[in-house]
Structure 1
Amino acid sequence: MRILSFTNCALDPTTGSGKTVMMYSQGLRDLGHEVEVVAPDEFELGRRGGRAPKFRQAVGGWKMLKRRMREGNYDLVEFFGDEFWLATRWLRSQTKRPFLVAHTNGFELLNIERKKAMASPPRGVRDKLRRYTVKQTHERFARIAFESTDAFVSLCDLDRRHAVGEGLYPQKRTATVPPGLDEEYLGRPLVLEREHRVAFTGTWNVRKGVELLTEVMTALMLKDEKLVLDIYGAAGKEAVILPLFPEVLRARIKVYARLTNAEIAEGLGRAKVFFFPTQYEGFGIALAEAMACGCASVTTPTGYGGELKNGDEAMVCDFRDVASMQQHVEKLLHDDELRIKLAQEGWTRAQQLQWPTVVGQLESVYLKWLEDR
């Protein structure tokens, strides 16, 4: 296969989306396919980091795609992100064209729904106007991006089912291919004796459910004077995070600097519980990494968490159910039998996320679609 891949994220191996694109692409190359990846630094109009990046990527991606179509022949073009609605609509209209795939690191249409569910009522005319503008632009263009492609690949089955339910694709033109885990997380021995710690990994923002994390952990740490909270992935945010907790708790809250994968895996290997109250994930690699390190997990039904067996592989709580989250985290901290059961099942499940395996799945899907076409 000769594949052209457009991505809306930088090819940065320290970010989940960037690493996923890089690993899929290199994996397909290793299997003998030709894969060219075009990142925003090659096509985004204007200065990177400026205003209206989605519009600048839409126009720049369309112009770059037209140039690439003149220069070479491709069997398949994949698009990571809904920014490419102009490109997909234009290419779909061409008589001779490659097969078009929306390959998502997170399904924007479902993410939009989750944002609406989390949003408070609009405040004033300006807020109403802003929401109306977003609906008429970004939401509309996102749907065009998916309507203009032939097939859909997601990281989790929840996104795939939503795409089918929206009538965007027939089921046979959709697939779920999860990402793999880095080698530092896989194959670690399952250590069942743990320190009295709860861990969280993620950027410190609303989508990750940090207000729920703060509420639950404040209540638990006030009751339990030995409990420690470890926060990974939020380096440099101590001045933002610590004031959210009562002063009496702050000495037991560890906000770690940027660490290597091996160092994060070591830290996760000490914690009893991984608490991940995220409100939307395209996959949620942090959850899978924690499970691979033997943490018993409490999470929400999105991304990877939406596919786990509740009560066996993890405790899966409704998105805003603070009482349930608190109850399950506390129970796992003190009920070793239940914690060990979840840790063992979760560890076994996470070991399946091997990069050679998932790249092989993606290759099979693409070859089958091209053959059917």
Structure 2
Amino acid sequence: MRILTISNTPHDPSQGSGYVITGYVEGLRERGHCVDAYGPEDWLWWDVRRARRYLYPLMIASFGLQAYRRKPYDLIELWGGVTWLLAILIRWTKGENATIVHHSNGIEQHRVVVQRQSTVADAQLERWFQWDLSWFYDRGLEAADAIVTVSKYDLPFLKNKRYIPQKRIYTIPNPLPDFFLGQSVQWDRPRRVGFCGNWNSIKNIRLLRNDLPLFLREYPEWSFSVVGVGDTKVKVHFPEDVRPQIEVIPFLEREKLVDWYHSLAIFTLPSIYESFGLVMAEAMACGAALVATRVGFASGLTDGEEAYVLPKKTSPHLKEALEILAEDEKRRRQMARGGYERVQELRWETATRKLDNIYRNIT
């Protein structure tokens, strides 16, 4: 099968979405498909910041139209909501002859709805460069023949919107690198809570700022470690009296993240929205107990057995969860074991086989 893949994120295996995209490209090639894959490094004319939501669709569409005209393709795989214009143009140009798949690294319209429904003020859309473009993203999904999501979290939204028939909506959970699976873990852990990701409103940092100081004051033997925030000055967001208990690591290579995960008793990701949240599965694979909101991968976990799923995304629910697990070591270990066992099924061989079967069936 000849496949054209165009994505909205760089094909960088060290990054979350880039890791997933490149993994599928390599997996499909190993299964005998001819895959031409392009990312921003190919279609980006110039880097823009605040206006990129408006300019990126034009850049992707211009590049994508030229790419698929150079040779015949059996399937066109589009990653990201900003590919909406390209999907529409390909549909108009080739009509029913083009098989278009929207392979999701997040349903933009769903994220907007979740943010608007959120009671967290920091998560609201306010500025001009965050204007709601859902109508355009809707048209892009309507132009697709199939949609593949990375977790079940987006499914109710997609089915309710009825962009395409439900039988053409699929879910394949993101796989983990092989070195994350089958690890030997110790359940006796340092008293440390971890967070990994961008330090922004969608990750619900307001909840972290509100609840972590309260928890750290009550449990001075515990610490909070933050990874992957780049040059963000995280400690300034916390009161001075708890800053000695907070560790900030701007960046770690994926392999080195393993050791960091092993140093955690609890990993938390209280996000407003996640399409999957790969760091949750990584932490679970390394034996850390997960505390998360019911988004992304966590939306399909069994509360109390595989993770502690917060009932709400507001204070004091994170503080209460951390207190419970800090006080009840047996419960924390059981939950960590349940999470560890749950993620062992997240294998590349399984995911690639499923995607291969889907693509063969719809072309």
With structure 2 as the length reference, what TM-score do the two structures score? 0.94
8 A contact 1:277–1:319 mirrored in 2: no
**Runs of 5+ consecutive residues of structure 2 not aligned to the other structure:** none
Give 3-state SS (helix, strand or coil) of 1:26's partner.
Answer: helix
8 A contact 2:123–2:204 mirrored in 1: no
8 A contact 2:189–2:263 mirrored in 1: yes
State the shift of 1:182 in Å: 2.0
Residue 316 (1) aligns with residue 315 (2): no
Closer, same or farther: CA 254–57 of 1 in aligned 2, 3 Å: same
Q: Which moved more, 1:91-100 or 1:308-317?
A: 91-100
- Report the RMSD for the aligned CA atoms in angstroms: 2.0
> In structure 1, what is the Cα distance between the partners aligned to 2:121 and 2:341?
39
State the shift of 1:188 in Å: 1.3
Stretches of 4+ moved more than 3 A in 1? 118-123
For 1:12-51, list aligned pairs within 5 A: 12-45=12-45, 47-51=46-50
Q: Name 1:160's counterpart in structure 2.
A: 155
Closer, same or farther: CA 366–122 of 1 in aligned 2, 3 Å: closer
Q: Name 1:292's counterpart in structure 2.
A: 285
Residue 242 (1) aligns with residue 235 (2): yes
State the shift of 1:322 in Å: 1.9
CA offset digits 1:147-177 (Å, max 9, x no partner):
1111100101121232111111212101001
Q: Name 1:176's counterpart in structure 2.
A: 171
Q: Name 1:105's counterpart in structure 2.
A: 105
Q: Name 1:114's counterpart in structure 2.
A: 114
CA offset digits 1:180-235 (Å, max 9, x no partner):
11233222113111111111111111111111112111001111111111111113
Q: Name 1:265's counterpart in structure 2.
A: 258
State the AA in 1 paired with 2:3.
Answer: I
8 A contact 1:10–1:41 mirrored in 2: yes
Closer, same or farther: CA 271–65 of 1 in aligned 2, 3 Å: closer
Q: Name 2:269's counterpart in structure 1.
A: 276
8 A contact 2:122–2:201 mirrored in 1: no
Q: Name 1:2's counterpart in structure 2.
A: 2
Q: Name 1:223's counterpart in structure 2.
A: 218
State the shift of 1:134 in Å: 2.1
State the shift of 1:52 in Å: 1.9
Identity %: 28
Aligned match for 1:307, one of 294, 300, 304:
300
> In structure 1, what is the Cα distance between the partners aligned to 2:112 and 2:321?
28
State the AA in 1 paired with 2:264.
Answer: A
Q: Which moved more, 1:175-184 or 1:319-328?
A: 319-328
Q: Which moved more, 1:83-92 or 1:277-286?
A: 83-92
State the AA in 2 paired with 1:22.
Answer: T
State the shift of 1:323 in Å: 2.3
8 A contact 2:115–2:123 mirrored in 1: no
Closer, same or farther: CA 27–121 of 1 in aligned 2, 3 Å: closer
Residue 78 (1) aligns with residue 77 (2): yes
> In structure 2, what is the Cα distance between the partners aligned to 1:337 and 1:266?
23
State the shift of 1:320 in Å: 2.4
> In structure 2, what is the Cα distance between the partners aligned to 1:244 and 1:51?
24
8 A contact 1:184–1:261 mirrored in 2: no
State the AA in 1 paired with 2:210.
Answer: E
Closer, same or farther: CA 268–144 of 1 in aligned 2, 3 Å: same
> In structure 2, what is the Cα distance between the partners aligned to 1:70 and 1:297?
47
Q: Name 1:146's counterpart in structure 2.
A: 141
Closer, same or farther: CA 50–296 of 1 in aligned 2, 3 Å: closer
> In structure 1, what is the Cα distance between the partners aligned to 2:275 and 2:143?
21
With structure 1 as the length reference, what TM-score do the two structures score? 0.91
State the AA in 2 paired with 1:266.
Answer: D
State the shift of 1:10 in Å: 1.3
Residue 134 (1) aligns with residue 131 (2): yes
